[in-house]
Amino acid sequence: MGMERCERLYVGGAWKLPETPTEAIPLVSPATEEIIGSVASGSASDVNSAVAAARAAFPTFSSTSPAERAQLLKQILDLMEERAEELAQAICREMGSAIGFARASQVPFGIAHVRAAIDVLEDYAFIRKQGTTAIAKEAIGVCGLITPWNWPLYQITAKVAPALAAGCTFLLKPSELSPLSAHLFAQIMHDAGTPPGVFNMVTGRGEDVGAAIASHPDIDMISITGSTRAGILVAQAAAPTVKRVTQELGGKSPNIILNDADFARVIPLGVAAAFRNVGQSCSAPTRMLVPADRLDEVAELAAATAQAMIVGNPSDDATDLGPVANRNQFAKVQEMIGVGIAEGAKLICGGLGKPEGLSAGYFVKLTIFSEVRPDMRIAQEEIFGPVLCIIPYADEDEAIRIANDTVYGLGSHVQSSDLDRARRIAGKIRAGQVHINYPAWDGFAAFGGYKQSGNGREYGVFGMDEYLETKAILGYFPE
């Protein structure tokens, strides 16, 4: 595989070099630590050009019919399905996703957001009658979409599809750490016949491109998925222009295992959920809350599950989990494993360093701590790697208290053989999503956070609503 040069930006319907000549950002393979490509480093002037193109395209595009926008989304959907393997290979190379996982989850879930937007458009009422008043839903305007590296395609389509469905025009800033899938997606947008200026993409660093987007006076809305720190910076930069800011940020999601659950089934599934995407999911259930009197049984089941997982070359079909996505993430995960050991949590598998036989690449040992106290840093801070904390609780009330004892509130899980009991506990958890007994993923279920996990919601109709303004027209329906 040769060097992959992603050194052009997509602005106004064409691929262009950055306006200010700057050195491209190197793309490092997380599996080998070798440079495998480069990505254009855009600047504020590129953002200005992209916003101008989006602003110019907005009057025409926002007045298209829902059927026309659905047709464009169908073209995008068809091309994504046609190029699914190419997208999966790109995600494997750029952020180390195991190829099997890229094919089974990363790409299909990304495609599902486009399909969901088409379905939502079919029966969405852009004008609703309320007595003699019309409640109109209108595209908010030009949007800045900022996406992360951990689910690169999935996060792009979770924003692009509903923004397009709503009739907005937009500028995408994908993570400079996962540019390959973003460039393939931009080409799909082009090949699908997206009108010039509707979709623009400027790659670069957050402090350059992200900051310029957040503060831009001609951008009406920002949607960012990223760390809580990044979300705060964007909101602060956006405040002087009073634009809408929706944020999907960090998480430290609990998984409450009730004493009536089938432990032999739910503990292995809980470990798999926490380690999915090598733990690099904001909603990963990385705090497993278990009855104190069954702590040893849980630890044994959890360790056996982790030890059966294959960590290795992400392009190998047999691999369950590849490396973490980049050097900074590897360093952070190692630091937090060290913190857990220093805090006195009981290490039941994994630990510091790389797995045996994997000297190159950002590979991490699958690590599980037991006897974790809720006040430990490893129980409070988002680690974003394959590190699971098993926390004992005395009774149901304490389990709920521990579950809510966090600055975050994104995902959560409850396992019980008593559905009424699980539903009652789900009602007491302060989080944007609760999963009862590991249900199937639902691309129409509102996704977003309480507390420092963010503002606003994504997916399905809830995602599209964020890109719409509400206008009341009184006297629209006379008596």
Catalytic residues, by residue number, are 248, 282
C-alpha span between 221 and 132 (Å, rounded): 30
Nearest CA to 269 out of 301, 299, 297 is that of: 301
H/E stretch holding 166: helix 152-166
Q: Which residues on neighbouring strands pair with residue 388, listed in sequence order?
A: 368
Q: What is the largest CA-CA distance in the chain?
A: 78
C-alpha span between 476 and 131 (Å, rounded): 9
Burial class (CB in 10 A: 0-12, 13-18, 19+), 205: middle
H/E stretch holding 247: strand 244-248
* Cα angle 23, 29, 34; round to 5: 75
Nearest CA to 177 out of 387, 51, 11, 323 is that of: 323
Nearest CA to 24 out of 205, 210, 175 is that of: 205
254: its two tokens: 């609990």
Distances (CA, A) of 222 to 167, 196, 215: 15, 21, 10
217: its two tokens: 């006076």
**3-class SS of residue 181:** helix
Phi/psi of residue 299, each to 5°?
Answer: -60, -40
Sheet holding 35-39, edge to edge: 4-6, 35-39, 25-28
Q: Which residues on neighbouring strands pair with residue 367, listed in sequence order?
A: 387
* 54 touches 198 (CB < 8 A): yes
